[in-house]
Amino acid sequence: MTVGEKNRLLDLLTETYSTFLAAVEGVDPEMQVYTDSDWRVRDVIWHLATWDRQVAKSLRAYQAGGEYSIPDFSEDEFNEASLLEGNKMTPQQIYNERDQAREDFKEAVREIPLDQFPGDLLYPWGDERGSIPQLVEYMAEHDVEHRDEILKRVASRED
């Protein structure tokens, strides 16, 4: 791992985050995103912030020589519990958390020494291990996936 590669990963997190923010700018946070669920834009934003926080926990545990995963992880249950937590917040609180969660994620990446990057860390969902670059790329893809879903929904409402 080189400084350049580490910077590429940080730039990727910045870029996918920026393009997500641009996509949701001016979109009603209460707009339903999916036709098969009641998830709104605000819920997707909270979902991404929640996952950024979980990834930062895994990265920090790895840096300290340990491991972290969500206890008794079930994706559906975790996401549903997260949704309920986010429902207690105002959109502005969610936006603030979103910004802080991404900064925490990036800071966790920055803090890891280069020699630990190719290592084998436990991902927060607990049934997968891999490198830091692979984890960062997964999370960037997660941003893009949700951004595209919101953009698709916005476009369908304009037709």
Tokens describing residue 120: 């084998």
| Least reliable range by pLDDT among 49-53, 83-87, 107-111, 153-157 | 153-157
What's residue 36's pLDDT? 86
Is pLDDT of 158 > 80?
A: no
State the amino acid at position 19 in one-letter form.
T
CATH number of the domain to which 54 belongs: 1.20.120.450
DSSP E strands, 2-127: 121-122
Per-residue confidence (pLDDT) for residue 61, from 0 to 100 = 97
- Give the separation between CA 154 and CA 68, rounded to whole angstroms: 37
Q: What's the whole-number mean pLDDT along residues 62-80?
A: 95
pLDDT over threshold 90, residue 159:
no
The whole-angstrom separation of Cα 55 and Cα 11 is: 17
What range defines the domain where residue 27 resides? 3-158
Percent of the chain residues past pLDDT 70, beyond the cut: 99
Tens-place pLDDT, residues 77-109: 999 999 999 999 999 999 999 999 999 999 999
> Considering its fold, how many domains does the chain have in total?
1
DSSP secondary structure, 137-159, as one string: HHHHHHHHHHHHHHHHHHHHHH-
User: Measured between alpha carbons, how far is 134 from 13 in angstroms, rounded to an integer?
Assistant: 12
Whole-prediction pTM: 0.93
